[in-house]
């Protein structure tokens, strides 16, 4: 496949190609779809051992200045003033009408907030935030940093073997971080910001590293026999099995957080106080129940139902698939989509239209695959 000349190369582009990656355009970058073993082998390896993902296409933003947490609360429904140093939280960037502009991770890094946003929405997010930035705050896009994700049951042992030490005396060891904790570490003189987090439904870590040291770090991790490189294809099937929504597919400006099943991202204090974009609409959906809900759908066989497929209850069209495919660990076809609230209960028998045929599907609880986070 010929890649457009205006695609950006990831910092690890040469490494991906040397590892046999099939490169595809994604979020404006040339990215590895899979390596020589293919998507299913990479997916199953991550579930059994540890996979290394290059997610440097994502936007790493840093927000600093007096009142940064207060200001971020005017754009997102999370409690950031109550977010303790070294803790991270999933949140949503909301439009005035409560529609979802992006989903993001927010970490209290001590003297600043670190934000990780989606690659495809990074520029729009930056423009949205810059246009509203309060005096005295600084918002910086750290495109001098790469981001690696190490995911899987062996991730903690692997990162312990790497030998990174806490940046400050008395800091916890990197493998002692708990789920959604973050810290600063040093590896061979290189500063690393590490969090215990990910997008696969597995235990794991995300590691922010200066671009100049990214290839050395990736090489050191890949030298561990438990680690193999994993592409975007398996990242998608892993997150789908984990029931995690993908922005631009399961989430969009046309979806609000409650129908998306993301009410947990509206912190308790914010539910009581409001004061975030679209609060009236979102709190109404929260207390009265949304008209439609994001659900998991298990098809009977192996035939995938993909994004855009219509969902039926009897003769009535009641929803649409927003993500779908084959779940390698589940061993069958799985999907997520939005259905009318009356059809959203677990066990509801529905049908998904694929090429003129109606495939039987059942509403099932998310995730499809049981997580094993280190809490």
Residues of this chain that bind another protein (CB under 8 A): 33-34, 38-41, 233, 237, 301-304, 306, 325-326, 328, 333, 355
CB-nearer residue toward another protein: 132 or 302: 302
Smallest separation (angstroms) from another protein to the CB of 58: 21
Peptide bond into 202 cis (omega under 30): no
The neighbour count for residue 104, using CB atoms within 10 Å, is: 24
* 131 close to 123: Cβ distance less than 8 angstroms: no
CA dist., res. 295 & res. 87, Å (int): 29
Please spell the DSSP secondary structure of 224-249, one letter per residue. STTEEE--HHHHHHHHHHTT---BTT
DSSP 8-state secondary structure symbol assigned to residue 369:
S
Smallest separation (angstroms) from another protein to the CB of 288: 39
CB-nearer residue toward another protein: 252 or 303: 303
Structure tokens at 114: 């670190």
Short-list 266, 273, 314, 324, CA closest to 290: 266
Smallest separation (angstroms) from another protein to the CB of 241: 12
CA dist., res. 185 & res. 174, Å (int): 7
Smallest separation (angstroms) from another protein to the CB of 255: 25
CB-nearer residue toward another protein: 278 or 327: 327
CB-nearer residue toward another protein: 46 or 60: 46
Scanning the structure block, which residue is given the tokens 């509206």?
A: 266
CB-nearer residue toward another protein: 355 or 375: 355
CB-nearer residue toward another protein: 136 or 308: 308
CA dist., res. 56 & res. 145, Å (int): 8
Smallest separation (angstroms) from another protein to the CB of 24: 9
Smallest separation (angstroms) from another protein to the CB of 350: 19
């Amino acid at each position: 496949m010929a890649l457009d000349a205006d695609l950006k190369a990831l910092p690890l582009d040469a490494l991906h190609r040397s590892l046999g990656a099939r490169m595809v355009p994604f979020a404006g970058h040339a990215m590895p779809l899979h390596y020589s073993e293919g998507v299913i082998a990479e997916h199953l390896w991550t579930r059994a051992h540890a996979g290394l993902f290059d997610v440097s296409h994502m936007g790493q933003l840093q927000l600093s200045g007096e009142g940064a947490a207060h200001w971020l609360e005017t754009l997102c429904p999370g409690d950031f003033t109550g977010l303790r140093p070294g803790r991270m939280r999933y949140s949503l960037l909301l439009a005035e009408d409560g529609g979802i502009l992006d989903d993001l991770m927010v970490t209290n890094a001590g003297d600043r907030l670190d934000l990780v946003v989606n690659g495809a929405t990074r520029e729009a997010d930056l423009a949205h935030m810059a246009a509203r930035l309060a005096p005295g705050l600084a918002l910086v896009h750290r495109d001098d940093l790469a981001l690696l994700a190490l995911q899987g049951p062996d991730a903690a042992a692997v990162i312990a073997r790497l030998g990174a030490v806490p940046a400050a005396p008395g800091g916890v060891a990197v493998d002692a971080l708990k789920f959604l904790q973050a810290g600063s570490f040093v590896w061979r003189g290189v500063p690393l910001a590490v969090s215990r987090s990910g997008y696969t439904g597995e235990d794991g870590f995300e590691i922010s590293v200066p671009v100049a040291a990214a290839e050395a770090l990736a090489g050191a991790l890949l030298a561990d026999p438990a680690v193999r490189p994993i592409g975007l294809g398996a990242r998608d099937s892993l997150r789908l099995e984990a029931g995690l929504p993908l922005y631009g597919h399961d989430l969009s400006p046309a979806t609000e957080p409650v129908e998306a099943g993301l009410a947990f991202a509206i912190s308790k204090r914010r539910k009581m106080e409001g004061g975030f974009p679209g609060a009236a609409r979102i709190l109404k959906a929260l207390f009265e129940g949304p008209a439609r809900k994001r659900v998991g759908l298990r098809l009977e066989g192996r035939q995938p139902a993909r994004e855009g497929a219509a969902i039926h209850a009897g003769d009535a069209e009641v929803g649409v698939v927003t993500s779908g495919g084959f779940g390698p660990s589940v061993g069958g076809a799985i999907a997520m989509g939005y259905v009318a609230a009356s059809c959203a209960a677990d066990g509801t028998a529905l049908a998904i239209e694929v090429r003129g045929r109606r495939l039987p599907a059942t509403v099932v609880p998310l995730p499809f695959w049981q997580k094993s986070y280190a809490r």
